[in-house]
Structure 1
Amino acid sequence: MTLPAPAPRAATAIDLIANAYTETLLALDPGFATSLGRAGHESEYRDHSPAGLEAVAAATREALTQLADAAPADEVDRVTLHAMNERLGLDVELHESGWLLADLNNIASPAQEIRAIFDLMPTASVSDWEHIAARLGNVSGAVAGYITSLRAGAERGLVAAQRQVRTVIEQCERHAAADGFFTDLAKNAATDDGGPTLPAEVTTALLTQAEQARCAYGALVSFLREELLPLAPAADAVGRERYALSSRQFLGAAVDLKETYAWGVAELDRIIAEQELVAEAIKPGASIAEAKSILNADPARQLHGTEALTQWMQELSNTAVNDLAGTQFDIPEIMRALECRIAPTQDGGIYYTGPSEDFSRPGRMWWSVPEGEDSFTTWAETTTVYHEGVPGHHLQVATATYQSALLNDWRRNVCWVSGHGEGWALYAERLMDDLGYLADPGDKMGMLDGQRMRAARVVFDIGVHLQLPIPASWGSGTWTSEKGYEFLAANLDISVGQLDFEFNRYLGWPGQAPSYKIGQRLWEEIRDARAARDGEEFSLRDFHTQALNLGSVGLDTLKMALLG
């Protein structure tokens, strides 16, 4: 079934404020424009210096001032006003805390973002490669601005932990190597699908600018090792005050951290008990570990090589889209393309990038395979495809992009709240189980393993960063990073390389990892409250449609919008 395009909605005063703010952010951050597929700023970077951060903060304060005098014209406006006041107000708090000056971790800081933008740049034409060459030439300026901010943060006593600095040094060393990312990008430059050969001057520019980019990352390595590392604290824990601020950033809601920690402990126990029941179904009397060994030894559940992994991901994703479209969800034809790819890096992790505004670049699921890993098990990853694709992130993000007639630019393209987005993706995994797509005991074990990992994150993240008492079932005393690593190793059934990556990620990005499971909890609480309120009139499909059409908002805003 082909769905009609959304009915147009006249822009209101609040929409105009939101759209103008979005245009300001696009002008200040050309990489953001690239992520949306917008033309015009293909070679530039945002100003990573303190001046650049202040420019964004000034624009945010101005937008908040304008919103203070605006009255909502309809329900869409009411949600926008609630969401923008919450998000922008928190952005100002984060800026004033000073911690944006010390933004450094192993997954989502300028050290990664400056390089990662090249993953989203088109490569179909000669002009595309000219843009890539020009942006390569601007890497050095972006890195210099970032170093200035890190130095300013250090002057205020705000420095990431030693573990994060060392990890980022290792990452940047790989990019700065003679055979690293930038060199590889330039040497292998070619237009897509057998297009025209690149002119010699473009090839020369790519090689020259790639060398400059490589050297810029070398300079970043030197700064981090020689200047920042000696100032970095040994302690990984960030403390209650900073953690509470970060938790709000990733949830769009303030939760009772001690109560949430206790819930995480109980949820972990519950999931382990459910896994034990599934293990019994795989083989009577088998432990969870024994059941997994049986699954891992099953040739029908094994993949060898990244090409086989990519093909399997794509086929499973296509099946989910085809099955769910028109039955469980309304999925317009333009949203049904989802590309599964191997990421160009080897840092670990699986992630999703949304489509361009016109869907000419489809949504993409990326698998970053650590070096040396070449074997994969389908039972462990079926649920991941649903998490990243449909009905997870792709359905969520692409729906917001599609709703251009209903949602203003800020709602569609700027507002992304981890607890909402990642909470939905975990909610989607459970939904696929409810719909029978994880009826196979192996696939269900994989889903439960993922849920167990996310529950363990709640315990680890809050416990370590707030230095809370360890539950008796997992040890004694208070949490430390080292005790936390042992706890993760017992609950995350992943390779050592992935475990190290995840461990460093949780320590360096406080509040983000628990937002998945806490977000799922809040999504389910809102759904259940809505079902109780509507009684026999409750429709799960209609609930999902209304919720997804809101776009990504903070979880307090989601509750307000769906429950009143």
Structure 2
Amino acid sequence: MTDQALSAHRTPTAVDAVAEHYVSRLAELSPEFAVDKALPGRRGELDDYSPEGLAALSDLARSTLRELDGVEAVDEVDRVTLSAMRERLGLELELDEAGERLRHLNTIVSPVQSLRDLADLLPTDTVEDWEAFASTLRAVPRAFSQYAESLLLARERGLVPARRQVEACISQARAQARESTSSYTVLLGGAVTADGEPLPAALSEELARAAAAARSGYASMAETLRTELLPVAGEADAVGRERYARLSREFLGAVVDLDETYEWGREQMAAIDAEQRSIAVELYGSGTSVVEAMKRLNADPARTLHGTEALREWMQMVSDAAITALDGTQFDIPAPLRTLECRIAPSTTGGIYYTGPSDDFSRPGRMWWSVPEGTTEFATWQERTTVYHEGVPGHHLQVGMQTWLREELNSWRRLACWVSGHGEGWALYAERLMADLGYLDDPGDRMGMLDSQRLRAARVVLDIGVHLGKERPAELAVLPGVGEGVWDAPSAWAYLRHNVAMHESFLRFELDRYLGWPGQAPSYSVGQRLWEAARDEALAAGTSLTDFHTRALRLGSVGLDVMGEALRA
């Protein structure tokens, strides 16, 4: 299929007009969204994090829903748009009513992190870009002041994050406030234009002052959290069934039976464990345990990378090879998507993530690895599947495809809608797909894929167990020092250490993430489960696997209930 056929022209409709109006208004209200998607908007500014700024976003959602009530679908694309926008915007208002946006503080995706990570995406090609960069940094203290207003209003309503999350964010903010550990120091250390020209001295000085202002904003935010939130933050990490169910819907775009899903997660853990035990024997002979096999894999010089530059080069090599192998065989990959940049992030949080291309593909899709301080060795057997997850056929193919389909999908479908269960579910589905296609036939690489899948299945059990206050399962209660009782942070830590072969620094980050971002972590495995159910249903109806992938990816990221309805239509 040609690039032109993939992006066939479609006449925009009244439904598309409503969606486009929403995106243009969102870009006006959110300069950060405009930068992220390379859309017209206010450069050198940050979002309004005050209660009034958040209310403006709610008003936009509310008015858009009214506009949608006045238009009718003319084709299947419209029908999906209507269903998806009503589900997403309606849930957004429900979450706002519950105070979720006001109380938004956790260790991974709150403004404490996003105001830092935005700098990674700011254009830096020209002197004008760097001037806007400086303006953005100068706006950080104002943004944090507004954010503090929202957090304090949430506090007045009794909506205070757990102590664990407040303490973690204080630590992160303090690290960003210190010049020696701030990501701004790394970003500005070698500031040049795209053609390698050094910046004018006056601009370099202004950038240094702007970075100092941004760091002071982080210092003030850390102090606000310490003095205003920490004294009233609760010890309990669990959010309870009602709140958890609402957040689960946000991340899945689907309603699932949480108790059944919890038991399914336990079954998945047992099945993955059995497969890993078999591979351990295949690798090193009878009697070899999974833990021993992993230790020997980690000690294998042929499977070890030394230094972050070696890691980046290896990521790029694996990514490029996957694109070359899959294009024209399993997928039709448009030309702009055949470029994926692999980078080491300037932050040190331990996360591995993907950022999509700009709307015009002037900025390509990128895979980022935020390497914790002191980590210098990396095991390829664990990470080959990660490259497939973040790259092709994972996030890069998925996100890049919906960005590419500008002649078929409106801007909301392409740029503004992201459902974790759809996106992360697809990425896990992609990992398994690469194993099924033979790209993980090396037993070590397959062990790494299963370790990845095991982590995702473990957090289905852990996340639901902790936040719903379930009793610890038998397979956890028998672990040394754990015993019976209700799930809590120590038992969750024991469960992770027993079941996941990751460095302790990564695991600590992961656990804090699960405890502070309820419902998101299970969306990977549960999303994969729903993707596989949709595939099996399509294959049973006579659809080929390639056609299923093409049709499903053309929908863009929508709620998984909406996706299922669309694929059955």
Asked whether the two chains share a fold, i.e. TM above 0.5, the reply is yes
Query: Conserved in 1, the CA contact under 8 Å of 2:126 and 2:194?
Result: no
Could you say what the CA RMSD is over the residues aligned between the two structures, in angstroms?
1.2
User: Structure 1: any 5+ residue segments left out of the alignment?
Assistant: none
Q: Which deviates more from structure 2 when the two are superposed, residues 282-291 or residues 78-87?
A: 282-291
Distance 2:63 2:115 in 1: 27
Rounded to whole Å, the distance in 2 between the matches of 1:477 and 1:139 is: 44
- Partner letter of residue 508 of structure 1? G
Contact 1:186 1:207 in 2 (8 A): no
How far residue 317 of structure 1 moved from its aligned partner, in angstroms, is 0.2
**Structure 2 CA distance, aligned partners of 1:152 and 1:189?**
40
Q: Please give the alpha-carbon distance, in whole angstroms, between the structure 2 residues aligned to 1:392 and 1:183.
A: 30
Give the alignment's TM-score, normalised by structure 2: 0.97
Structure 2 match to 1:124: 125
Listed as ranges, the matches of 1:285-296 within 5 Å are 285=286, 286-296=288-298
TM-fit CA distance, 1:181: 2.2
CA-to-partner distance for each residue in 1:91-114, whole Å, 9 max, x for gaps? 000000012111000100011111
Aligned to 2:9: 8
Moved more, 2-11 or 436-445: 2-11
Matches within 5 A, 1:103-252: 103-181=104-182, 184-185=185-186, 187-192=188-193, 194-252=195-253
Give the equivalent residue in structure 1 for 2:400.
398
Q: Displacement of 1:419 after TM fit?
A: 0.2
Query: Which whole-Å deviations, capped at 9, do the CAs of 1:527-558 have from their partners, x for residues lacking one?
Result: 11111122xxx210010000001100000001
Give the Cα–Cα distance (whole angstroms) in 2 for the partners of residues 183 and 325 of structure 1. 38
**Alpha-carbon distance, 1:193 to partner:** 5.3
Percent identity between the aligned chains?
Answer: 55
Q: Establish whether residue 549 from structure 1 lines up as the match of residue 554 from structure 2.
A: yes
In the TM superposition, what is the alpha-carbon distance from 1:40 to its structure 2 partner? 3.9
Q: Report the Cα offset of residue 68 of structure 1.
A: 1.6
Residues 35-82 of structure 1, C-alpha deviation per residue, up to 9 Å, x if partnerless?
Answer: 112344221111101101100000100111111222111000010011
1:77 equivalenced with 2:85 (yes/no): no
Give the superposition deviation at 1:186.
6.9
The answer to whether residue 489 in structure 2 is matched with residue 481 in structure 1 is yes
User: Is the contact made by 1:251 and 1:419 (CA closer than 8 Å) also made in structure 2?
Assistant: yes
Q: What is the SS of the residue equivalent to 1:102?
A: coil
CA shift in 2, pair 1:40/1:69, >3 Å:
closer
Q: Which amino acid aligns with 1:326?
A: G
Query: Which residue, 471, 474, 497 being the options, matches 2:505?
Result: 497
Report 1:321-336 matches (<5 A).
Answer: 321-336=323-338
* Range 264-273 or range 180-189, more displaced: 180-189
2:294, 2:501 within 8 Å by CA — same for their partners in 1?
no
Deviation of the 1:199 alpha carbon = 1.3
Match of 2:379 among 377, 383, 386: 377
Match of 1:342 among 344, 350, 363: 344
388-397 vs 179-188, greater mean Cα deviation? 179-188
Q: Provide the C-alpha distance between the structure 2 equivalents of 1:514 and 1:99, rounded to a whole number of angstroms.
A: 19
Note closer, same or farther for the CA distance 1:183–1:268 as it changes in structure 2 (3 Å cut): closer
Q: What is the match of residue 311 of structure 1?
A: 313
Higher mean Cα deviation, 198-207 or 167-176? Answer: 198-207
Q: Which letter maps to 2:463?
A: D
Correspondent of 2:532 among 511, 524, 531: 524
Residue in 1 aligned with 2:517? Answer: 509
Distance 2:339 2:266 in 1: 39
1:540 matched residue in structure 2: 545
SS in structure 2 opposite 1:101? coil
**3-state DSSP class of the match of 1:341?**
strand
Q: Distance in 1 between matches of 2:463 and 2:183?
A: 34
1:291 & 1:404 partners in 2: Cα distance?
47
Unmatched tracts of structure 2, length 5 or more: 478-483
Aligned to 2:567: 562
| Cα drift, residue 293 of structure 1 | 1.9
Alignment length, in residue pairs? 561
Q: Which letter does structure 2 place at the counterpart of 1:517?
A: S
Letter in 1 for 2:231: P
Q: CA deviation at 1:2?
A: 5.3
Pairwise CA distance, 1:189: 4.6
Amino acid at match of 2:472: I
User: Equivalents in 2 of 1:511, 1:98: separation in Å?
Assistant: 17
Q: Return the alpha-carbon distance in structure 1 between the equivalents of residues 474 and 151 of structure 2.
A: 40
Task: Tell me if the contact between 1:338 and 1:389 (Cα under 8 Å) persists in the aligned partners.
Answer: yes
Q: Distance in 2 between matches of 1:19 and 1:166?
A: 40
Report if the CA contact (8 A) 1:125-1:196 is conserved: no
The one-letter code matched in structure 1 to 2:20 is N
**What SS class does the counterpart of residue 235 from structure 2 fall into?**
coil
C-alpha distance in structure 2 between counterparts of 1:77 and 1:186, whole Å: 42
Letter in structure 2 aligned against 1:131: A
Of 182-191 and 364-373, the range deviating more from structure 2: 182-191
Which residue of structure 1 lines up, in the alignment, with residue 282 of structure 2? 281
1:90 aligns with 2:95: no
Deviation string, structure 1 residues 463-485 (Cα, Å, up to 9, x no partner): 00001111112112221111111
- Residue 300 of structure 2 aligns to which amino acid in structure 1? D
SS in 2 for 1:352: strand
Q: Could you give the per-residue CA deviations for residues 12-34 of structure 1, whole angstroms, max 9, x where no partner exists?
A: 11100011011111111101111
Which amino acid in structure 2 is aligned with residue 17 of structure 1?
A: V
Following the alignment from structure 2 to structure 1, what is the Cα–Cα distance between the partners of residues 198 and 493?
Answer: 50
470-479 or 368-377, larger mean C-alpha shift: 470-479
Secondary structure of the structure 2 residue equivalent to 1:45: coil
Distance 1:25 1:122 in 2: 20
CA contact (8 A) 1:355 1:363 kept: yes
* Alpha-carbon distance between aligned partners in 2 of 1:276 and 1:290, rounded to the nearest angstrom: 10
Opposite residue 322 of structure 1, the aligned amino acid is: T
Alpha-carbon separation, structure 2, partners of 1:501 and 1:105: 11
Secondary structure of 1:364's aligned partner: strand
Q: Distance in 2 between matches of 1:504 and 1:447?
A: 23
Amino acid at match of 1:200: A
Question: What's the CA shift for 1:195?
Answer: 2.5
Letter in 2 for 1:509: W
Q: What is the letter of the counterpart of residue 199 of structure 1?
A: P
* Secondary structure, aligned partner of 2:265: helix
